[in-house]
Structure 1
Amino acid sequence: MNNASQNTHRSGGLLLILAFAAVYLIWGTTYLAIRYGLLGIPPFLLIALRYIFAAIILFVGCLVARLPLPNRYNTRVLSISGLLLLVGGIGSVVLGEQYINSGNTAVIIATSPLLFLLVDRKNWKSYTPTKLAGLLLGFFGVFLFSRLNGGETSHDPVHRWDTLKGTGLVFLSTLFWVSGTLYARKQKDNHASPVANTAVQHLAAAAACCFIAIMKGEWQSFHPAAVPVAAWNGLAYLVVMGSIVAFMAFMWLVKVQPPAIVSTYTYVNPVVAVFAGWIIAGEQVGLAQLGALILVLGGVLLVQAKSLPLLHRFRRQPRCEAGS
C-alpha cells in the first residue's frame, strides 16, 4: 500500500509539473507561433483556420467521451464571450503582431490583471494605494517597453507609427479579453464539460473569423501552395499546443490548484515570450527593455499582492466542485 501510494503521489507530482510547464512554456511561445503563421497566412484567415481545426478536435473529443453540452442559454453566452475573447482578443493580437514583435506583444498582454481591476466594478471598492501604485507602474512599464522597442532608436516616423499601431491593437486585445471573460460570468447552472464550452466558443469564433476573412478578401487571395513551411508549422503549433494541450492543462490546474497559483502564468508568459523571440527569431532585446519588463511584472504583483502569501503552497490541492 505504501509503495502504491508513493507511486500515485509521484505520478501526480509529475503531472502537476508537466501541466504548469505546458501553461508556462506553450502559452508563452504562442506569440512567436503567430509571427511564424503570419509569414504566409493572412491574419484573420490564420485564426479562422486555428479555430476551425481546434473546434473540430474539441467536438470530436466531446462525442467520443460523451461529454455534456451546454444548454441554449449558455450556448448563447459562450458564443458571445467567444467572439469577444477569440475574435476581438486574439484577432487584435494577430493584427498587432504585423507591426511589433512577439516579446513586445506578450508584455502588453501582461497588463490584463491590471485591466481586470479597472473594468470590473466589483474591484473598485478594493482600491488601495498599493494597487494604484501597481497600476501606474505596470502601464508605465508597457510605455517604456514600447518606446524602447528592442533597443532601436525609433526615430523613423514610419517605424514609430507602426509601433504605435501595434501597441494600440494589442492593448485593445486585452480590453476584449477582459470583457469576454467578464461576460462569460453570465452563464447559469452550466453543468456542461469545460471542453464542450470551449468548443462552442471556438466554433462561434471560427464562423466570425471566416466571415471577416471573406470580407477582407483573404480567402480569395490565399494560395496554400505558396505558404512556407514555417507558417504551416506556426498554425499547427497554435492548434495542437496552444488551443488543445495548454488549454487542457490549464483547465486541470484550475481544478486542483488555488487560483493564485494558477495565475502565476501571467508573470511567466511574457518572460518566456521575450526570450523565445530573442533566441529563436532573433528579436532584439536590450537591458532597458528587460528593465521595462520588470516594471510591468512588478506592477502586476502589486495589484495581486493579497495572493502572494499563497505562493508557498505550490502543491496539489484537490477540491470538490459542483459538476466536476
Structure 2
Amino acid sequence: MNNTVLYVLTVLIWGSTWIAINYQLGEVAPEASLVYRFGLAAAVLFLFCRIKSLPLAFSLRQHAQLMAFGLCLFGVNYYFLYLAQQHINSALTCIGFSTMMIINILNARFWYKTKITKQVYYGAALGLFGIITLFWPQINDINIGADTLLGLSLCLIGTVFASGGNMLSIKNQQMRLPVMQTNAWGMAYGTIFMALLAVLRGVEFNFSLTLPYVGSLLYLSIFGSVIAFGCYLTLLGRIGAHKASYATVMFPAVAVVISTFVEGFIWDLTTITGFICIMLGNLVVLSPSKQGAKKEADSKNRQQHVSQEEIAEKDMRPAKA
C-alpha cells in the first residue's frame, strides 16, 4: 500500500475505535479486556505468519528489543492511560495522548537526529490547538485540582511510553525486522505483561458473551490492533514518527464525525473551529516541504541529465561491422 492509503486506514480505524471501546466498558475489567484484545490480535498475527510461512525466529538480543517494544506500545502505555481515566474524563485523556506528536518530534530528534522543519512544528501546534478547541466545552468547567493533575500526569507517562514504542518500532525496521512478525511478538509480550499485572491486582478474568462486547472485541483486535498498528508502524518507518504521529491528532476529529451519525452529537462553533484547525494542521504537516520538493526536483533533473548523456554516448559509438 502507498503511504496515503496507510495513513487514511490508520486514522479511520483508530478514530472509530473510540466508539468500540465504549462497548468494552462495563462488567469486564479493562485490564482483562486488554488481555483479550491483544492476546487475540497476537494469535491472529502468528497464525497469519504460519500460513504465509513468514519467519518468526529471532535472536535473544532481538527478543529483548521486541519485549521492550511490546511492553511500551501494547502494555505499559495502556495501563497508565486506563489509570488516568480514573481521575480525568476522556476529553482530557484524548488531549494528553495527542501530545504524543510533540513527544515523537523530540524523540525522533534525540534518537535519530531527524531534522524537523518549521512546517511540522506549525502543523503540530495548529493540530493541538484544534484538539483543545474541539473539546473545550468538556474541559471548560473542570477544576484543576490534585486529582486532575494526577490524571494528566499518568496520561503523559503513558504517552511517553507509547512514543518510546514508536521509536523502538523504527529501530526494528532499521534492523530489517519485518513489521508483521515484530507486531506479533510485541503484542504477545504486551499481553503477558497485562495478564501478570491483572493477576497481581486481583482482577477477575470474566467474559461477556453479549453481542456488543464480543463484536467490539473482534473489531478492536482485528481492525484496531492487527490492521491499524500494522499500517501505522509501517508509516513510522517510511515517513518518520514526526509526521505519522499526526494521526493521533486526527483520531478525535474522526470520532466526532462518527458520533454525529451514531450518537446524535450536535456541532457548535467550537467544534467547527477545532475541526478546521485539525484538518489544516494535517495539511501543513503532511504537505511536502519546499526543501524536500526542491531536492526531489533536483534528483529528477540529475536522472534525466544522466539518461540524456547515456543516450548521446550510445549514439556516438561506432556501429559494429
Asked if Structure 1 and Structure 2 have the same fold, meaning a TM-score greater than 0.5 normalized by the shorter chain, the answer is yes
Contact 1:71 1:190 in 2 (8 A): no
Q: Deviations over 1:212-268 (max 9, x none)?
A: 11122222xx4325x65423322221111111233445567789x866996674554
- Report SS of the residue matched to 1:223: coil
Work out the CA distance in 2 between the residues paired with 1:245 and 1:308: 29
1:68 maps to which of 55, 67, 74: 55
Q: Residue 255 of structure 2 is aligned with which of 273, 278, 282? A: 273
User: In the TM superposition, what are the counterparts of 1:161-172 in structure 2 within 5 Å?
Assistant: 167-172=152-157
| Kept after mapping to 2: 8 A contact 1:92/1:170 | yes
Match of 1:52 in 2: 39
Confirm or deny: 8 A CA contact 2:179 2:230 kept in the other structure. Answer: no
SS state at 2:23 partner: helix
Q: Which residue does 1:78 correspond to in 2?
A: 66
Tell me, in whole angstroms, the C-alpha distance in 1 between the residues paired with 2:264 and 2:200.
34
Change (3 A) 1:175 1:204: same
- Give the CA deviation at 1:77: 0.5
Matches within 5 A, 1:1-324: 21-69=8-56, 70-97=58-85, 99-101=88-90, 105-106=93-94, 108-119=96-107, 120-121=109-110, 126=115, 136-145=125-134, 147-149=136-138, 154=141, 167-187=152-172, 190-219=175-204, 222-225=205-208, 228-250=210-232, 265-266=247-248, 268-281=250-263, 286-295=268-277, 298=280, 304=285, 307=288
Equivalenced residues, count? 289
Deviation, structure 1 residue 284: 6.5
Contact 2:74/2:187 (<8 A) preserved:
yes
Match of 1:320 in 2: none
Query: Any idea what the Cα deviations from partners look like across 1:23-61, whole Å, max 9, x if unmatched?
Result: 232121112222221233212111111111111111111
Change (3 A) 1:275 1:92: farther
| Cα RMSD, aligned residues only | 4.1
Give the Cα separation in 2 of the matches to 1:305 and 1:253. Answer: 12
Q: CA deviation at 1:129?
A: 6.1
Partner residue, 1:321:
none
Give me the whole-angstrom Cα distance separating, in 2, the residues matched to 1:130 and 1:250. Answer: 21
Cα distance between partner residues in 2 of 1:264 and 1:239: 22
1:68, 1:192 within 8 Å by CA — same for their partners in 2? Answer: no
Distance 1:208 1:177, change over 3 A: same
Percent of paired sites with the same residue? 23
Q: 1:248 to 1:128 in 2, by over 3 A?
A: closer
Higher alpha-carbon Rg: 2
CA contact (8 A) 1:109 1:171 kept: yes
CA distance in 2, matches of 1:301, 1:17: 12
Q: Distance in 2 between matches of 1:170 and 1:234?
A: 24
TM-score (norm 2): 0.70
Residues 230, 104 of structure 1: CA spacing in aligned structure 2 closer, same or farther, 3 A cutoff?
Answer: farther
String of CA shifts for 1:62-119, please: whole Å, max 9, x gaps: 2222211232212211110111111133333444456534x66555434322222233
Judging changes above 3 Å, is the alpha-carbon distance between structure 1 residues 39 and 277 closer, same or farther for their aligned structure 2 residues? farther
Structure 2: gaps of 5 or more residues: 297-321
**What TM-score comes out, normalization by structure 1 length?**
0.69
DSSP 3-state at the match of 2:16: helix
Moved more, 55-64 or 111-120: 111-120
> Does the CA contact (< 8 Å) of 1:115 and 1:178 recur in 2?
yes
What is the one-letter code of the residue matched to 2:168? Y
